[in-house]
């Protein structure tokens, strides 16, 4: 089975096609400047990068062009879209609702929208990607994978802030944690490389990229992390 993985930004789109039987990445790409007149796609397949200058006024146009490249005789890795078993969407903020990946439904989309105040630069863009896929491939099964889900095992005394409880009740202010997909994957690989069961390990994991966080993992579960309420650098309710 082949899976398309999408990471939608406000003006960008990253993607990979994975063959789940071999766990091999077949293609990857990055669509930049969506909504601008100079938008372009960098599409990589068989170790070679191809650049396409293509006008994409929105995510729907960008995703449609990406799917066209993926099924193209010269640049594609799929004979047709029927080869795809599903589409996975990276979602930054799942709030308290989601502790695992889920099949995307209308209800799931509404919950993602509810978390947009906590990740205003990320969740709305993700919704654009999901809704674009629903229009282009309406019968395709889609899954939401949340950055916050892995951290839902953190104890309440650690995720609650020492502020009046009414702010948690009214604004959902608490520690959520981020980069969960990275922390979960890296801790799993650490255990594999060490030849040990992750359930028997205590791991301090560092995610270093455009955003950085540290996570304490015990028995395969997140027990503490350095990031809190939002992936933004400032408080979403502040000035």
Is 23 in the same domain as 111? yes
Written as six digits, the tokens of 50 are 């191809």
Does residue 173 form part of some domain? yes
Does residue 163 form part of some domain? yes
235: pLDDT strictly greater than 90 = no
pLDDT at 156: 97
182: pLDDT strictly greater than 70 = yes
pLDDT at 180: 96
Does residue 233 form part of some domain? no
pLDDT at 209: 84
Q: How many CA atoms lie within 13 A of 191 on its CB side?
A: 19
The residue out of 120, 146, 172 marking a domain boundary is: 146
| pLDDT band per the 50, 70, 90 thresholds, residue 176 | very high
Number of domains in the chain: 2
* Beta-carbon count within 10 A of 239 CB: 4
Domain range holding 215?
151-225
What is the domain-level CATH number for residue 33? 3.30.420.40
* Span 166-177, average pLDDT: 95
Is 31 in the same domain as 127? yes
175: pLDDT strictly greater than 50 = yes
pLDDT at 140: 96
pLDDT at 192: 97
pLDDT at 145: 98
| pLDDT band per the 50, 70, 90 thresholds, residue 211 | confident
Is 219 in the same domain as 201? yes
Is 182 in the same domain as 85? no
| pLDDT band per the 50, 70, 90 thresholds, residue 233 | low
Cβ(43)–Cβ(50) below 8 Å:
yes
The residue out of 81, 115, 146 marking a domain boundary is: 146
* Span 173-188, average pLDDT: 96
pLDDT at 236: 44
Is 138 in the same domain as 155? no
Is 26 in the same domain as 103? yes
* Beta-carbon count within 10 A of 138 CB: 7
Asked if 147 is an active-site residue, the reply is yes
Catalytic residue, from 73, 82, 147, 197: name it: 147
Does residue 230 form part of some domain? no
> What pTM, to 2 d.p., does this model score?
0.91
* Beta-carbon count within 10 A of 103 CB: 10
């Amino acid at each position: 089975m082949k899976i398309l993985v999408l990471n939608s930004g406000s003006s960008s789109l990253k993607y990979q096609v994975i063959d789940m039987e071999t766990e091999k990445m077949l293609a990857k790409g990055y669509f930049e400047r969506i909504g601008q007149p100079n938008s372009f796609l960098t599409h990589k397949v068989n170790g070679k990068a191809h650049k396409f200058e293509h006008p994409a006024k929105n995510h729907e146009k960008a995703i449609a062009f990406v799917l066209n490249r993926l099924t193209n005789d010269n640049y594609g890795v799929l004979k047709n879209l029927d080869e795809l078993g599903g589409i996975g969407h990276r979602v930054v903020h799942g709030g308290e609702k989601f502790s695992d990946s889920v099949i995307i439904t209308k209800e799931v989309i509404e919950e993602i929208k509810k978390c947009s105040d906590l990740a205003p630069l990320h969740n709305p863009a993700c919704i654009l990607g999901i809704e674009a896929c629903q229009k282009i491939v309406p019968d395709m099964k889609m899954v939401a994978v949340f950055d916050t889900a892995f951290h839902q095992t953190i104890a309440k005394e650690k995720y609650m802030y020492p502020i009046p409880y009414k702010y948690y009740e009214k604004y959902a202010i608490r520690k959520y944690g981020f980069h969960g997909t990275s922390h979960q994957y890296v801790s799993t690989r650490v255990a594999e490389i060490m030849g040990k069961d992750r359930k028997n390990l205590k791991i301090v994991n560092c995610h270093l990229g455009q955003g950085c966080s540290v996570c304490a993992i015990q028995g395969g579960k997140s027990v503490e992390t350095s990031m809190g309420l939002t992936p933004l650098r400032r408080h979403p309710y502040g000035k």
